Amino acid sequence: MPYAAIYIPDFLVAATARMEPALRRKAVAVLEGTPPVVTVAATNEAAAEVGIELGMTKLQAAAYPVELRQRSPAQEAAAHAALLDCAQAFSPRVEDTAADTVVLDIAGLERLFGPPAKLAQDLQQHASALALEANVAVAANPDAAILAARGFAGVTIIPPGKQAEYLGSLPIDVLQVAPEILGTLDRWRVRNLRALAALPEMALVERLGQEGLRLEKLARGTVERPLVPAEPPVAFEETMELEYPVALLEPLAFILGRLLEQLCARLEARALATNELRLALVLDIAEGDEEVSRSSFLVPRENQASDEKREIRNEKHYCLRLPLPMLDARLFLKLLQLELRTRPPAAPVVKVTLEAEPVKPRPAQGGLFLPATPAPDRLELTLARLAGIVGEQEIGAAEVLDTHRPDAFQMKRFAPFVALPSRQLSVWAPLPTLALRRFRPPLAATVEVHGGEPVRIVAGEIRGEVASVYGPWRSSGDWWERKTPRIDKDEHGSNWARDEWDIAMTGNHGIVLYRIYRALTSGAWFVEGTYD
Amino acid sequence: MSALCVVPFPACDRQALARIAGVVPASRLGVRPRPETISTGIPQVDELTGGVPRGGLTEIFGPASSGRTSLLHALLAQATAREEVCALVDVSDAFDPHSAQAAGVDLKRVLWVRCGRKVSRSSLLISRKNHASAGKRETRNEKLVPVEQALRALDLLLQGGGFGLVAIDLGDIPPEIARRVPLTSWFRFRRAVENTAMALVVVEQKASAKSCASLVLKTKHSAISHQQSVKAGTVPTHARLLHGMQLEVEVLNSRILQRKPVRSAMTSFDSRASWVG
């Protein structure tokens, strides 16, 4: 039963360089610790060649021509998740061996991906697409595959039964054993796995115990153990900590573009899409600015009250909800840019975290005879741009509320792609219906009443004698509510009562029909709209 | 001496030759293919106009209470019944979802863009600047803000594409403001919908798109009809019910059928109130 192992050399450096492709060809050293004790935790090969050693202080390392980066656990977690995604794209049985190593069971995958050599090449290419330079090895058992991936660069295929032959040339430190055992083996002049495999079993157990026997079996490539499959990660999150605060939208968009590309590549590897993107920005706010920032962040928004609650101290959260599952990094970037332009952060950004809600994509087959509809991605972009012009709350689909309150409706998110029930022609009124054009808010009017009927009206530019009157019709509602509305406007959740009239007035271009009403709670008159 | 003899080419042979060679007579070059049209939902208007053209700009203009909005609602109802996605750019936030629903409009398929409710930052700056200099100019600019917003929104919607019907409602905008929309904008909008399945409809008080429009309809109110429950004597006002209006539609310009503008033609229809059974 063959296994493939994927190993990322210099994982700490690779995790850092994943978001900065320019670092891949340079000498890089990763630092850890808090000042003043900051030391080199990892280096790549190029950095080691120029003389950087592990444990050097930051000051010492700075004397060499290397790029120094602070270690970021969030970036390492994202790189590890990407590594798992890469493996999961090929096989459902994946073992999460270490942060830099995963093993996958490739039995039965030949029909899908071809022979092991091709599969290994594909794995390496896939890892490269996720910005990870990986070593891939295929062997008959997991441990042989792991040792080969750690020891040989590139792609290695070990034929069944030839593990000892292939692994023999590897140095003893690929076994990652305790330093004291390594010291003992060094004293015995056991420098590679071939030498270790040649030692007699009994003598080794007598001197090193069961650990010695395990090491010898590893060196021979004969360890048989079951694979421990890992649960696939459900969080798709990418993080970047910035060395310097970013104050402009353009460089921030550049960073977001990187994160989105990685996120989309990971989702694509798992054949997933997203319908919700969450962006968290950590802002660079000094202690004194805290109150200012808090007040500016906690501007209430009607639809995203829950999101606002999450905004604590120096963090700003954005949430992008999409009507359909999508997977387009460029579209997401544009939408985020529009959102950031609408609600810019109040301070420079020092850390960016982007999280995607994974959902299954919903492929749709367009019907040949169905009417054309806007493409979901383009419509989403258009809506975001429209929101920037007229306001987020001013676009959408109107939904009439189940109440008799006049002009009671709410704006809903415009999503024509959700399966809507088709209308039948018989539902329509056979004749065109008289439409009302509303004044929002209603125009306050001064009305002269004679014999209980309005005879003259003055409301801004509307003024003159009333030619015909129809009404009144009395209506009221929400009388169980104690709250009385303000004189100039109806408020939801407050009681209302009114006498409504339809009046005709002679204007410059003929007769104009208006709907007027008298609010019984206040006695004030209003012009509600014109019939047109 | 030889005699020159001219033999006339038979007419039937000439036609056959033209057919074979694929030659189109010059007299037929001016005939455009008839554009696809969509029904207005009002048989009288359909009979008169042939419908609203797709890939063209239709102007519906008239004074208040002339039936412009009723016609627009009828159009939206027809389009949404065909499961098309529509957009309405509402310049003065006058759209009434209740009466639209009563007219048969499927509101879930109509993207409603309400302009003028949020003044953008740049517009605010202009407004403040004018406040310092001249109050009159500021008032004019305030009225212009929703129009500017609407034109930008319309641009985006037309670029996005995929809509069956896109309407812009300038019905409450004074003609002197609406006329300030440059003709080039209307040309741009017409070009944007050309060769698409979108129908662009403009509702206003006075025609302003002029030659850019494929169809220009003028609406007029002719009479009010009402019902009364008391037959004789002095009728109290509450015994009378507004039943509807009789409206007239006049075609001032149409490029649907012919290249040359048609002469004026008129029809009338009844628009009834939603509470009339």
Tell me: do A34 and A145 sit in the same domain: yes
What is the predicted pLDDT for the residue at B117? 73
B79 contacts B38 by C-beta, under 8 angstroms: yes
How far CA A179 is from CA of A9, A198, A209, B38, B198, in Å, comes to 21, 21, 15, 83, 75
Tell me: do A350 and A494 sit in the same domain: no
Q: Which strands make up the sheet holding B165-169, listed edge to edge? A: A409-412, A395-400, B110-114, B86-90, B165-169, B199-204, B56-61, B215-228, B240-254, B265-272
Q: Which strands make up the sheet holding A67-70, listed edge to edge? A: A39-43, A28-32, A67-70
Domain membership flag for residue A341: yes
Tell me: do A214 and A260 sit in the same domain: no
Residue-wise pLDDT for B59-118, tens only, equals 999 999 999 999 999 999 999 988 899 999 999 999 999 999 999 999 999 999 999 775
* Helix residue ranges, H only, A106-248: 110-113, 116-129, 142-151, 163-167, 179-187, 193-197, 201-208, 210-220
User: Comparing B30 with A431, which gets the higher pLDDT?
Assistant: A431
What is the predicted pLDDT for the residue at A377? 83
Asked whether the beta carbons of residue B96 and residue A375 sit closer than 8 angstroms, the reply is no
Q: Which residues 51-70 of chain B have a CB within 8 Å of chain A?
A: 63-70
User: Comparing A304 with B184, which gets the higher pLDDT?
Assistant: B184
Instruction: Tell whether the model's pLDDT for residue B149 goes beyond 80.
Output: yes
B130 contacts B142 by C-beta, under 8 angstroms: no
Asked whether the beta carbons of residue B108 and residue A427 sit closer than 8 angstroms, the reply is no
Instruction: Tell whether the model's pLDDT for residue B225 goes beyond 90.
Output: no
- Residue to mutate among A417, A433, A462, A509, with most B CBs inside 10 A, is A433
- Identify the domain boundary among A194, A220, A246: A220
DSSP A480: T
Domain membership flag for residue A85: no
Instruction: Tell whether the model's pLDDT for residue B147 goes beyond 70.
Output: yes
Closest residue of chain A to B40, computed from CA coordinates: A432
Tell me: do A208 and A241 sit in the same domain: no
Domain membership flag for residue A394: no
List of domains in chain B = 34-220 (3.40.50.300)
Tell me: do A214 and A272 sit in the same domain: no
Residue-wise pLDDT for A402-421, tens only, equals 888 888 899 998 988 765 55
Interface residue B106 vs chain A (CB under 8 A): yes
Task: Compute the distance between CA of residue A380 and CA of residue A362 in angstroms, rounded to an integer.
Answer: 16
Domain membership flag for residue A407: no
A387 contacts A270 by C-beta, under 8 angstroms: no
Tell me: do A245 and A212 sit in the same domain: no
Tell me: do A184 and A333 sit in the same domain: no
Domain membership flag for residue A401: no
Which residue in B149, B160, B245 is closest to A390 by CB distance? B149
A239's CB contacts (< 8 A; 6+ apart) are A72, A74, A75, A77, A78, A259, A351, A352, A353, A354
Domain membership flag for residue A184: yes
Closest residue of chain B to A513, computed from CA coordinates: B65
Task: Give mean pLDDT, residues B245-268.
Answer: 75
Count of alpha carbons within 13 angstroms of residue A510, beta-carbon side: 15
Least confident of B119-133, B201-215, B254-268: B119-133
What is the predicted pLDDT for the residue at A23? 85
Residue by residue, DSSP assigns A266-288 as HHHHTT-EEEEEEEEEEE---GG
Picking from A332, A214, A212, the residue whose alpha carbon sits closest to that of residue A262 is A332
Count Cβ atoms within 10 A of the Cβ of residue A225 and give its class: 0-12 exposed, 13-18 middle, 19 or more buried: exposed
Task: Give mean pLDDT, residues B248-266.
Answer: 73
Mean pLDDT of chain B, nearest integer: 79
Low-confidence ranges of chain A (pLDDT < 70): 1, 232-233, 286-313, 364-367, 418-430, 482-493
Tell me: do A37 and A121 sit in the same domain: yes
Q: Tally C-beta pairs within 8 A across A and B.
A: 231
Asked whether the beta carbons of residue B162 and residue A378 sit closer than 8 angstroms, the reply is yes
- Identify the domain boundary among A333, A359, A385: A359
Domain that holds residue A345: 236-299+306-359
Residue B9 three-state SS = coil
Asked whether the beta carbons of residue A439 and residue B104 sit closer than 8 angstroms, the reply is no
Tell me: do A136 and A282 sit in the same domain: no
Contacts of B145 in chain A (CB under 8 A): none
- Identify the domain boundary among A343, A359, A375: A359
Neighbours of A296 (CB within 10 A): 13
Min Cα separation A372/chain B (Å): 6
Q: Which residue has the tokens 């059928």?
A: B257
Closest residue of chain A to B89, computed from CA coordinates: A395
What values do phi and psi take at A29, rounded to 5?
Answer: -125, 135
What is the predicted pLDDT for the residue at A522? 85
What is the predicted pLDDT for the residue at B138? 45
Task: Compute the distance between CA of residue A396 and CA of residue A413 in angstroms, rounded to an integer.
Answer: 5
Tell me: do A162 and A258 sit in the same domain: no
Asked whether the beta carbons of residue A411 and residue B112 sit closer than 8 angstroms, the reply is yes
Count of all residues that appear for chain A in the document: 532
pTM for the complete prediction? 0.71
Contacts of B170 in chain A (CB under 8 A): none
Task: Compute the distance between CA of residue A452 and CA of residue B103 in angstroms, rounded to an integer.
Answer: 33
Task: Compute the distance between CA of residue A410 and CA of residue A393 in angstroms, rounded to an integer.
Answer: 10
What values do phi and psi take at A6, rounded to 5?
Answer: -115, 130
Task: With both helix axes pointing from N to C terminus, report the angle between A249-269 and A73-88 in degrees, rounded to the nearest 10.
Answer: 30
**Gyration radius of chain B over CA positions:** 25
Residue A529 three-state SS = strand
Asked whether the beta carbons of residue A386 and residue B157 sit closer than 8 angstroms, the reply is yes
Complex ipTM over 0.90: no
Tell me: do A207 and A355 sit in the same domain: no
Domain membership flag for residue A449: yes
Picking from A14, A32, A47, A40, the residue whose alpha carbon sits closest to that of residue A130 is A14
Domain count, chain A: 3
Tell me: do A247 and A146 sit in the same domain: no
